[in-house]
Amino acid sequence: MLSTTAQSQLCRLRPIPALKPRPLTTTSSSLLTDQSPPSTSPPPPPSQILTLRRSLLSRQVTAVQIAESYLARLRLTEPHLNSFLHVSDSVVREAQSIDDRISRDEDVGPLAGVLVGVKDNMCTADMPSTGGSRILEGYRPPFDATAVRKVRELGGIVVGKTNLDEFGMGSTTEGSAYKVTANPWDVSRVPGGSSGGSAAAVSARQCMVALGSDTGGSVRQPASFCGVVGLKPTYGRVSRYGLMAYASSLDVIGCFGSSVADTAILLNAISGHDRRDATSSKREVPDFISHFTASNTLEDKPLEGMRVGLICETLGSGVDSGVVSVINAAASHMEELGCIVKEVSLPSFSLGLPAYYILASSESSSNLSRYDGVRYGSQAVADELSSLYGVSRAEGFGSEVKRRILMGTYALSAGYYDAYYKRAQQVRTIIQKSFKAALDENDILISPAAPSAAYKIGEKKNDPLAMYAGDIMTVNVNLAGLPALVLPSGFVDGGPFSLPVGLQMIGAAFDEEKLLKVGHIFEQTLRGRRFVPPIIEDDNTC
């Protein structure tokens, strides 16, 4: 634990360097983007969903055309990226039925024709759902997860199931039993994880938006690594029914988009109480984009008076200087928008990581007990019951999953429960209180989403502790159950390629509305940067 002096030193305000816009050579227009006049500064990211809707309803394009153009790009990029574990074979058929409805002037839902990637730890009735695990190879659930059902009911088309670290346990997507996903910005690097497939797919425009899940940062860290918007909603905002549980008290289904608007529209679709999930909240769900301000009507200081707390513990040692610069630049950008940015200290911040790994491992050791080879999934050939269990699980689970099951089983064992699980719960309460206090003083808190930009594939594969340490920026938010939005806000130098860095904005419980509104203004006013990865830079349909 940090001493008070150390903290006060950490909290000392740093000089915020001036923004240095990275020169960008190409500007591209798209079938879907607003035709804005060419300028030296690229336009802010458009909403793919709203643009699609306008184009569909005005009959400029058909859903089939759109679907085919995305599928074409998917086929082109997928051999380099491996974002998907399964690609649906009914995308064009579903798009056709949207076109049929439109041609008959029937109402179509707000997600009509929207191509959605779904992390493979969410159940889909018509596609395999493996959780990235060998133990569920070929498993097809008899039902759709509630979030997936809602997306489909509103007209969304599930493009496929995206790759992930097995059951969400990992921060690189290297933990998948099936394939390693690459980062679209540099295919020698990881996309982050565990929702790396969803982040990479949205980044490379293989789909418009994607669902991910976030237990300790699994939406936010890959969003930062892949230069897309990632939202972790408040615990309870979105039903977990149909999400393969990793750590039930921390798991949240989240959204990826290439713009804040798309992310908000997807959140609109999946939020709300579900009678099948006793932990889903009955709170009313606001329309998350109704208060968005169009970029051309923004006032000079649209965020005048907004109190922003920069968490000083997140800019200390162990955080890349490039990341610190981006965050400081983002802070100064917010000041330009009228925010009052102050450093805040969360003394319990460093306790989050150990508490998280104890609680998440404990719950996972229990949640993964059902994968026993008895009712579904892969079953080992065994002579007797204990080896049926032993061999099915030994062969079915990967090493990271086994490590967490062992840690969790240990932490819950008689004689250790009080020292580990119970103590971690006490820490969790302290963290919740400290966030509450900080959010009473501030409208939002900001921090990096990860201590570094994307690192090389294989770099941390054999060093679990180093990988765990990378979750320091995000796990506290899950322990506190709060919503957080990650926005691409800058770049660091990554050798041949520049790599995106995300800014994390943390809000009060159930106040996604404010996060999204602030995030939208931030995004629309952040000039000089365009978060389209090089792998598709030459694709002029992006």
CB-wise, 178 or 389, nearer to other proteins? 389
User: Is 119 annotated as catalytic?
Assistant: yes
383 binds other proteins (CB under 8 A): yes
409 binds other proteins (CB under 8 A): yes
Q: Pick out residues in 104-133 that bind other proteins (CB under 8 A).
A: 122-123, 129, 131
Say whether 454 sits in a helix, a strand or coil: coil
CA torsion angle 231 234 235 239 (round to 10)? -70
CB atoms within 10 A of CB 374: 12
Exposed / middle / buried, residue 151 (Cβ in 10 Å: 0-12, 13-18, 19+):
buried
Among residues 119, 232, 461, 517, which one is catalytic?
119
State which of residues 70, 185, 241, 522 lies at the interface with other proteins (CB under 8 A).
241
The stretch among 2-10, 88-96, 303-311, 408-416 that binds other proteins (CB under 8 A) is 408-416
State which of residues 332, 366, 378, 432 lies at the interface with other proteins (CB under 8 A).
366
479 binds other proteins (CB under 8 A): no
CB-wise, 370 or 433, nearer to other proteins? 370
245 binds other proteins (CB under 8 A): yes
426 binds other proteins (CB under 8 A): no
284 binds other proteins (CB under 8 A): no
Torsion sign across C-alpha atoms 140, 144, 146, 150: positive
Among residues 47, 83, 171, 194, which one is catalytic?
194
What is the rounded distance in angstroms from the CA atom of residue 69 to the CA atom of residue 75? 10
The stretch among 91-99, 105-113, 374-382, 517-525 that binds other proteins (CB under 8 A) is 374-382
394 binds other proteins (CB under 8 A): no
194: preceding bond cis by omega (within 30 degrees): yes
Among residues 218, 362, 364, 434, which one is catalytic?
218
DSSP assignment letter at 12 = S
User: Is 8 annotated as catalytic?
Assistant: no
State which of residues 71, 81, 108, 145 lies at the interface with other proteins (CB under 8 A).
145
List the beta strands (DSSP E) in 137-233: 157-162, 209-214, 229-232
What is the rounded distance in angstroms from the CA atom of residue 259 to the CA atom of residue 46? 7
Say whether 339 sits in a helix, a strand or coil: coil
178 binds other proteins (CB under 8 A): no
What is the rounded distance in angstroms from the CA atom of residue 131 to the CA atom of residue 165? 8
The stretch among 246-254, 339-347, 394-402, 426-434 that binds other proteins (CB under 8 A) is 246-254
State the nearest-atom distance from the C-beta of 147 to other proteins, in Å: 11
Given the structure tokens 């100064």, which residue do they identify? 332
Helix axes 352-367, 399-412, angle to 10 degrees: 100
Residues 6 or more apart whose Cβ sits within 8 Å of residue 22 = 491, 498, 528, 529
User: Is 194 annotated as catalytic?
Assistant: yes
The stretch among 31-39, 136-144, 341-349, 507-515 that binds other proteins (CB under 8 A) is 136-144
What is the rounded distance in angstroms from the CA atom of residue 182 to the CA atom of residue 173? 9
The stretch among 54-62, 339-347, 381-389, 451-459 that binds other proteins (CB under 8 A) is 381-389
Tell me which residues touch other proteins (CB under 8 A): 122-123, 129, 131, 136, 139, 141-143, 145, 240-245, 247-249, 275-279, 362-363, 365-366, 368-372, 374-376, 379, 381-386, 388-389, 409, 412-414, 417, 421
